Chains A and B, each alone.
Chain A
Amino acid sequence: MLHVADLVVVRDRHRVLDGVSLVVQPGERVAVHGPSGCGKTTLLHSIAGLVHVDAGSISLNHHDVTHTRAHQRGVGLVFQDDQLFAHLDVADNVSYALRVRGVAKRERFIVAQEWLERVGLSGFQHRRTASLSGGEAKRVALARTLAGEPNIVLLDEPLNGLDDELHDQLLGDVRSLFEQLGTTVVHVTHDRAEGAALCHRSIEFATLSA
């Protein structure tokens, strides 16, 4: 469960987040809509611990994580432009979170294989990230985040830039995956239809600030 209370983030003397509050129940999927530049990405980055918070609090499963370091929070984030590690192959990308925890190579590989299957990319283990198409890269990014079994998954415009057919296909696959796993999700997007299709409820970003 995610509880964000009165979050304030100031950058260059401008209040990017001005008293933002948000509650997400376990297993719930929430879509946050708003125009670009309003601070949606900053909200996600704050929840993930990548941005310094000036006031307010964030708690996950009743633990206050406002001042916890990013790598200790257990928050998964799928970035807008994937951010795959080009020097690692697909399997190494997917199993990165496990590698960080010290899991042995063989086990990591098996887990990576499982997740790749789940996102519909069986057989992609040894592919280089540069050779992936747009849709494939997004699936790998998702698998990578999910493989770490985070408490909550944040999606930053995850289906941006895909053509209509690919977009709908991926949307459907992602939705069934989330329903299967019961993942808690905060989904940021400017596409209201996408938000409605993937999530339980939709919120306007502007309404989050007091």
Chain B
Amino acid sequence: MSKTVLHPAPARVALVVVVLWLGVFLVAPVLTMVGGFVAPSDISRVLALPSTWRLVWFSLWQSAISVAVTLVVAAPVTWLIGLHRFRGRRILRAATTVGFLLPSVVVATAFLAVLPRSLHYTMFAVVIAHAYFNIAVVVRVVGARLELLDIQLINAARTLGASPITVWSTIVWPLIRGAVAAAAAVIFLYCFTSFAVVRVLGGPRRSTLESDIALRAFGIGDIPAATVLALVQLVIVVSVIGVVRQLSGREQGLSRLAPLPPTAVAHRQRHFALCVAIATAIFVLLPIAALLWRSVQVGDTLSLAAWRTMYDSSLAASIWASARTALLAGVLGVALAVLTTLAVVRLGAIGRLIDMFSIVALAVSPVTLGLGLMLTFDIGWFDWRAKWWFVALAHTLVAFPLAVRVLVPAWRTTPIGLHQAAAVLGAGELRRLVDVDLRRMRPAIVASLGLIIAVSLGEFGAASLMSRAGSETMPVVIARLLSRTGDLVRAQAFVLASLLVAVCIAALVLVESALGRSDRVARR
């Protein structure tokens, strides 16, 4: 019955568009880099270097530690938000997400401002910064799973004599294991390809694969070696994702589709819960406060001079450049994500393949992507290197997989009955697509728009390669200002960073309220 109502035709068209788009803008650049620049001798040369394996090893273990620390740091606030209902819950959850959306170069700089000199250029700084970004992943992914957990299961276990620890180890852990693994995989991915944090907070002596790719491409000018390393990175990331997906397996313990509202905080745990909320808020806000503080410090004096220079054309130009890049990336990215989601949701096995492929797109590092795009589209009519929208293209590819991850579960909540009702009332396939699916999806679509905009605003790797003089995005300008000397210049960097934070928070508020609406729609 469902096959006739949910006709695969629109989905097939969507599939073709998505495959073409990814083929031209993702696969072709990667192939160009591999085919055009890498000879088998390059591969053997780079793979034979012991330093390559040291890089791999360092990248792996710093990611592993970052994942572990993030999970530990995020556990209390995830427990609080996932299982309880209290005033300010939405705000606390939004606060934890701020770190995720902030550009890495900004956060790294903010940490430099907050941490004492003795902790500069240390692994501690790197790991803490990674935890700062990725708390949001745990809170959202594991928190979402906890919300779906029926609280009465825990109560049942308690009446059977299980102490709180036993309840967690025998009942809760088995049911959230999959979500924790999924969160760990995403965090691993981000830490493994971390660039700005390792560079700024770890110092030049510490290199991950990603920073070495940039080093070889920018500094040494050895593009073939950079490409080989990018491939090694891609292989490792895809393998990890594959392994994790295998392990996450079936979903159990979901008693209802619509979650029960979480319970109020247990009386005994009130003080602990308050401490957790306050500590989390401080952790999240401290670096941002540091940025604002630094933006009004010119040398040793407090002054708004740097803020006043924002009227200066070159800095204001970067704000405009970031804004239009982000908006274009948002529009294109959402379009691409909606088409991909349509294909994933309606096309069974092929859909799962596309789903996997979009996750792989997430695994390609932005630096590699930028490099590939620059090296592919550089001839004649296809020479797009000077076009202002070229960077937006890269951002679309970098950010759309995140949007797909938001849209797919939302799309799947549309009950078949609605389609059947609409069909009986005479609506054709395309009509139904718009009226039933897309209309219900509107909040989720807005949420993904906000997400892509925020990612684009903060993206550094590809933008630093592709930005042209005069239309550089804010993160690129911030990095450039930070590398110069001069009190006013430094303060200007922090002013730009503060502005970037403000815009990201605005995008975040959009995402947050839209997602809230999306949940309510899903429950209907």
| Chain A residues at the B interface, C-beta cutoff of 8 Å | 11, 45, 48-50, 52, 69-72, 74-77, 79, 81, 83, 85-87, 96-97, 99-101, 144-145, 148, 150
B268 nearest CB neighbor, chain A only: A52
7 smallest beta-carbon distances between A and B, as pairs:
A52-B267, A83-B156, A70-B158, A97-B160, A77-B159, A100-B161, A86-B252
Give chain A nearest CB distance to B248 CB in angstroms: 14
Q: A48 vs B268: C-alpha distance in the bound complex, in angstroms?
A: 16
Residue B231 at the chain A interface, CB threshold 8 Å: no
- A-B residue pairs in contact (CB < 8 Å), sample of 6: A50-B158, A69-B163, A70-B155, A71-B159, A79-B155, A83-B155
User: B150-198: which residues lie under 8 A (CB-CB) from chain A?
Assistant: 150, 152-153, 155-164, 166-167, 170-171, 174-175
Q: A35 vs B164: C-alpha distance in the bound complex, in angstroms?
A: 33
Residue B303 at the chain A interface, CB threshold 8 Å: no
Complex interface: chain B residues within 8 A of A79 (CB) = 152, 155-156
Which of B153, B159, B162 is the one whose CB lies under 8 Å from A75?
Answer: B159
Complex interface: chain B residues within 8 A of A100 (CB) = 160-163, 166, 170
Give chain B nearest CB distance to A61 CB in angstroms: 17
For A49, A75, A77, A101, the residue with the greatest tally of chain B CB atoms inside 10 Å of its CB is A77
Check A148 against B158 for contact (C-beta < 8 Å): no
Beyond the given A70-B155, A86-B252, please list 20 additional residue pairs across the A-B interface where CB-CB is below 8 A.
A48-B155, A50-B155, A52-B266, A52-B267, A52-B268, A70-B158, A71-B159, A71-B164, A77-B155, A77-B159, A81-B152, A85-B171, A86-B175, A87-B175, A96-B157, A96-B160, A96-B162, A97-B161, A99-B170, A100-B170
Complex interface: chain A residues within 8 A of B150 (CB) = 83
Give chain A nearest CB distance to B430 CB in angstroms: 38
Residue B253 at the chain A interface, CB threshold 8 Å: yes
Q: A66 vs B170: C-alpha distance in the bound complex, in angstroms?
A: 26
Q: A182 vs B511: C-alpha distance in the bound complex, in angstroms?
A: 58
| B contact face: mostly helix, strand, loop, or mixed | helix
Q: A99 vs B166: C-alpha distance in the bound complex, in angstroms?
A: 10
Give chain B nearest CB distance to A134 CB in angstroms: 14
Complex interface: chain A residues within 8 A of B264 (CB) = 11
Which of B158, B174, B252, B267 is the one whose CB lies under 8 Å from A71?
Answer: B158
Give chain B nearest CB distance to A143 CB in angstroms: 12
A85 nearest CB neighbor, chain B only: B171
B152 nearest CB neighbor, chain A only: A83
Supposing A50-B155, A99-B170 touch, asked if A71 and B163 sit within 8 A by C-beta, the answer is yes
Check B158 against A49 for contact (C-beta < 8 Å): yes
Residue B255 at the chain A interface, CB threshold 8 Å: yes
Check A83 against B252 for contact (C-beta < 8 Å): no
Q: A52 vs B163: C-alpha distance in the bound complex, in angstroms?
A: 17
Give chain B nearest CB distance to A142 CB in angstroms: 12
A130 nearest CB neighbor, chain B only: B252
Check B156 against A77 for contact (C-beta < 8 Å): yes
Q: A83 vs B159: C-alpha distance in the bound complex, in angstroms?
A: 12
Q: A77 vs B159: C-alpha distance in the bound complex, in angstroms?
A: 6
Check B162 against A71 for contact (C-beta < 8 Å): yes
Complex interface: chain A residues within 8 A of B267 (CB) = 52
Give chain B nearest CB distance to A86 CB in angstroms: 5
Give chain B nearest CB distance to A43 CB in angstroms: 14
Q: A74 vs B164: C-alpha distance in the bound complex, in angstroms?
A: 15
Give chain A nearest CB distance to B150 CB in angstroms: 7
Q: A100 vs B160: C-alpha distance in the bound complex, in angstroms?
A: 8
A11 nearest CB neighbor, chain B only: B264
Which of B160, B161, B166, B253 is the one whose CB lies under 8 Å from A87?
Answer: B253
A82 nearest CB neighbor, chain B only: B156
B166 nearest CB neighbor, chain A only: A100
Q: A50 vs B267: C-alpha distance in the bound complex, in angstroms?
A: 11
Complex interface: chain B residues within 8 A of A87 (CB) = 174-175, 252-253
Which of A11, A71, A85, A101 is the one whose CB lies under 8 Å from B153?
Answer: A85
Check A101 against B161 for contact (C-beta < 8 Å): yes
Check A50 against B159 for contact (C-beta < 8 Å): yes
Complex interface: chain A residues within 8 A of B164 (CB) = 71
Q: A17 vs B224: C-alpha distance in the bound complex, in angstroms?
A: 74
Complex interface: chain B residues within 8 A of A81 (CB) = 152, 255
Complex interface: chain A residues within 8 A of B153 (CB) = 83, 85
Q: A45 vs B156: C-alpha distance in the bound complex, in angstroms?
A: 10
Complex interface: chain B residues within 8 A of A148 (CB) = 160-161
Complex interface: chain B residues within 8 A of A97 (CB) = 160-161
B255 nearest CB neighbor, chain A only: A81
Q: A150 vs B159: C-alpha distance in the bound complex, in angstroms?
A: 9
Q: A144 vs B153: C-alpha distance in the bound complex, in angstroms?
A: 13
Supposing A97-B160, A100-B160, A145-B160 touch, asked if A86 and B155 sit within 8 A by C-beta, the answer is no
B175 nearest CB neighbor, chain A only: A87
Q: A81 vs B155: C-alpha distance in the bound complex, in angstroms?
A: 12
A154 nearest CB neighbor, chain B only: B159
Complex interface: chain A residues within 8 A of B161 (CB) = 71-72, 74, 97, 100-101, 148
Which of A11, A71, A86, A150 is the one whose CB lies under 8 Å from B253?
Answer: A86
Q: A144 vs B157: C-alpha distance in the bound complex, in angstroms?
A: 10
Give chain A nearest CB distance to B264 CB in angstroms: 7
Q: A76 vs B267: C-alpha distance in the bound complex, in angstroms?
A: 22
Give chain A nearest CB distance to B413 CB in angstroms: 21
Complex interface: chain B residues within 8 A of A144 (CB) = 160
Q: A191 vs B152: C-alpha distance in the bound complex, in angstroms?
A: 23
Complex interface: chain B residues within 8 A of A50 (CB) = 155, 158-159
Q: A52 vs B170: C-alpha distance in the bound complex, in angstroms?
A: 24
Give chain B nearest CB distance to A199 CB in angstroms: 20
Give chain B nearest CB distance to A148 CB in angstroms: 5
Q: A150 vs B161: C-alpha distance in the bound complex, in angstroms?
A: 9
For A45, A81, A87, the residue with the greatest tally of chain B CB atoms inside 10 Å of its CB is A87
Q: A148 vs B150: C-alpha distance in the bound complex, in angstroms?
A: 22
Give chain B nearest CB distance to A47 CB in angstroms: 10
B250 nearest CB neighbor, chain A only: A87
Q: A205 vs B68: C-alpha distance in the bound complex, in angstroms?
A: 51
Complex interface: chain A residues within 8 A of B170 (CB) = 96, 99-100
Complex interface: chain A residues within 8 A of B159 (CB) = 48-50, 70-71, 75-77, 145, 150
Complex interface: chain A residues within 8 A of B163 (CB) = 69, 71, 100
Q: A71 vs B161: C-alpha distance in the bound complex, in angstroms?
A: 4
Give chain A nearest CB distance to B176 CB in angstroms: 11
Q: A79 vs B157: C-alpha distance in the bound complex, in angstroms?
A: 11
For A49, A50, A77, the residue with the greatest tally of chain B CB atoms inside 10 Å of its CB is A50
